Structure 1
Amino acid sequence: MYNKKLIKNVIVVLLVAIAVVPIFSLNVPFLQLSIDFSVQLMLGYLFLGFLFLIISEKRLLLTSFACCGMLCLFLKQSSNNNLILPKVNQSEKVSIAHFNTSSSTLGYASMLEAVISSDADIVSFQEVTPDWDMYLNNNLKALYPYSARNVRIDPYGMEIFSKFPIVEYDTFHYDEIPHQMVNINVSENNNINIISAHVLPPLGKRLNERAKKHLQTIANKISSLPSPSIVLGDFNLVYWSNEIVHFREQAQLENSRRDVSQNLLNVPYDHIFYSNKLECTSFRDISDSTSNHLGIVGTYQIKPTTDVKEGRVTSFLNK
């Protein structure tokens, strides 16, 4: 009896300990994977709860469901907090897609098909090599007359294609890692900054600090810009990680994702974050014919504010 009670106590401690690692971003080396797979972990606790219900282990049942609930609230807090998507208004809208060429396992044609099917106004590519640059430019220049291209032979080649005029183009760096930044004119009086970022995966404490400094550099750049900004790219971090949450707080950015991919084996490392002067009216993942993840696409509009005295809707842009 004593041994059975001791085993139950150990299981309870383990269940709680594993759950709090992602919630508090604890640096526990052998449990770090639980951060990236928090969604799967949450569903695992749900399954365990029903299992303990079947075998009438009330204490373990309550512990499992409590851990599942904590993870659920934690993930929701880190995602887009809107319970429903904002209503589409009469303000200017722009759809933006992001792709990483290394994700295309079926070759050039599969990527091009996904880009055209996304019907995005602006398309960002990362890990663009000279071969990819030639193919994309030849096949997209008619549909996207404006582009900013930074072709490299390393993984940091980037390109942005746009249906809207590119007013300004700049590149800033963290160490030797480039970031593309374009200012795009989406209507007569409204511009939006698009920043393409590629963050190295944090595989240890030292690289975790590097990722934080990298994101700090991007946040400082965003804070210096007058127009609303949309930041996208491969961050190699889940959006509920401590690094991303801190980055969003610093840069005052919202998360486009309201949930994770329907494919539970796909951990979301690519993201689109946007200034609070904008609203995200839709967001989805893009996959090829084999359900392989290729990219993401979102639609954004200017957040309206009601002028109570004059009874009209005005724009936040350029204010």
Structure 2
Amino acid sequence: MHEQKLKYLLKTLLIAIRIYCWFRQKKNKERLLAAFLLTPALFMLIPSYTFGLTLLQSFLFQAMLVYGLLSVIWIIKHHYRLAGINFIIYFLLLVKISGPINKTYRIDQGEETLKVLQFNVLSVNDKYTETIDRVIELAPDFVSFQEVSHQWAEVLVTCLAQDYPYYKVVEHEDQGQGIAVFSKYPLQDVEEIHVTATANITGKILVGDEAINFLALHTKSPTTKLKWHNRNNHLKWAEDYVKEQPGEFLVLGDFNTVPWDNRMLSFQSSTELTDSRKKLTPTYPTWNPFVAQIPIDYILHSKGIGCDSLDAVRITSDHKAIMGSFLVAGR
């Protein structure tokens, strides 16, 4: 019995020595580190069907930068296997991020220009004068605002009604869910619709003889699983609404999701709407540097509308505004 225990002890010791020697080899250390780095990458590359994956994959751009930086570091340190693996991950993340972004300029759809501004003002933001002055300076033709509190509703109507005589303001018991649209062009069939405890504004913008459908929305931030389901249900309603309406469409607002999110990809595929982005154009949060921001604000357009340009604009909120120049037939 004693000999058998000694035999097992020696075998265990031999296995431990082999494992130690394996870890001592440089190439095996690289293999282990490569496997460690691959694990989070796999979770970031698979489709975002769950709440946890959605939150994780909101930061794909930042993860891509980290893997790109690591590939450079490993090259400098002559760890070429690790550099290759990290570069492959970097490239796959780049493909996933850039895939939904429309990089082509479509400027042959019409002769009428429509400048559109999308801005989440932040309900507790009290920089009213600075905000209004900046909006007037930018001179958009149509503006969509989110997080319109009672105070913001009063300020927007008082200060913008002269330049934007066509408007609709919807206040909400939740100050963060108020919403408003202001237009220099006549609005038609304007309606407020409440879905999943959020306010939406629908209607038509009359540009020349053409009536362009619009839907302005603000989904709830998916900070919990329940709110994640709420946001997804809101987007599903918006998807069904757009598909039911004939004619050209603009859908704009704070979607609280990134372009590569599976729910967002499904929304665009089903409605055949195009994101106006020509590049990443992150919008939130403004207190972070560019590399730590994510794109969650959108102006989506249908195929009969051309987007000449889209840029992010820093105003006063925790969101950047985005402003696009669009071409429509106008007849």
Match in the other structure for 1:48? 70
Give the direction of change, closer, same or farther, for the CA distance of 1:174–1:28 in structure 2 (3 Å limit): closer
Give the direction of change, closer, same or farther, for the CA distance of 1:104–1:270 in structure 2 (3 Å limit): farther
2:180 is aligned with 1:176: no
Cα shift at 1:13 = 2.4
Aligned equivalent of 2:168, options 141, 148, 156: 148
Distance 1:151 1:248 in 2: 28
- 1:127-178: per-residue Cα shift (whole Å, max 9, x none)? 1122111111111111111111212241221111000001111122323322
Higher strand share: 1
Give the direction of change, closer, same or farther, for the CA distance of 1:44–1:213 in structure 2 (3 Å limit): same
Aligned equivalent of 2:244, options 213, 224, 229: 224
Match in the other structure for 1:110? 130
Cα shift at 1:300 = 1.3
**Contact preservation (8 Å) 2:121, 2:319:** no
With a CA cutoff of 8 Å and minimum separation of 6, indicate the structure with the bigger relative contact order: 2
Aligned residue pairs: how many?
A: 301
Match in the other structure for 2:182? 161
**Contact preservation (8 Å) 1:21, 1:32:** no
Aligned equivalent of 1:138, options 152, 155, 158: 158
SS, match of residue 250 in structure 2 = strand
Cα shift at 1:25 = 3.1
Distance 2:197 2:318 in 1: 30
SS, match of residue 264 in structure 1 = helix
Cα shift at 1:266 = 1.9
Partner amino acid, structure 2, of 1:220: D
2:305 is aligned with 1:278: yes
- 1:19-58 equivalence runs, <5 A: 19-26=41-48, 33-58=55-80
- 1:192-211 equivalence runs, <5 A: 192-211=212-231
SS, match of residue 102 in structure 1 = coil
Match in the other structure for 1:2? 22
**Contact preservation (8 Å) 1:215, 1:247:** yes
Partner amino acid, structure 2, of 1:65: F
SS, match of residue 78 in structure 1 = coil
Distance 2:181 2:50 in 1: 38
Match in the other structure for 1:252? 272
**Larger Rg over CA atoms:** 2
Cα shift at 1:28 = 7.7
**Contact preservation (8 Å) 1:256, 1:272:** yes
Cα shift at 1:86 = 2.8
Higher helix share: 2
Give the direction of change, closer, same or farther, for the CA distance of 1:31–1:24 in structure 2 (3 Å limit): closer
Match in the other structure for 2:281? 261
Cα shift at 1:180 = 0.5
Identical aligned residues as a percent: 26
Distance 1:7 1:181 in 2: 58
2:95 is aligned with 1:73: yes
- 1:81-120 equivalence runs, <5 A: 81-82=103-104, 85-87=105-107, 91-102=111-122, 105=125, 107-120=127-140
Aligned equivalent of 2:325, options 299, 308, 313: 299
**Contact preservation (8 Å) 1:103, 1:294:** no
Give the direction of change, closer, same or farther, for the CA distance of 1:144–1:69 in structure 2 (3 Å limit): same
> Alignment RMSD, CA only?
2.4
**Contact preservation (8 Å) 1:95, 1:299:** yes
- 1:167-195: per-residue Cα shift (whole Å, max 9, x none)? 1111223233221002110112x111111
Distance 2:144 2:192 in 1: 14
- 1:231-257: per-residue Cα shift (whole Å, max 9, x none)? 111111111111111111111111111
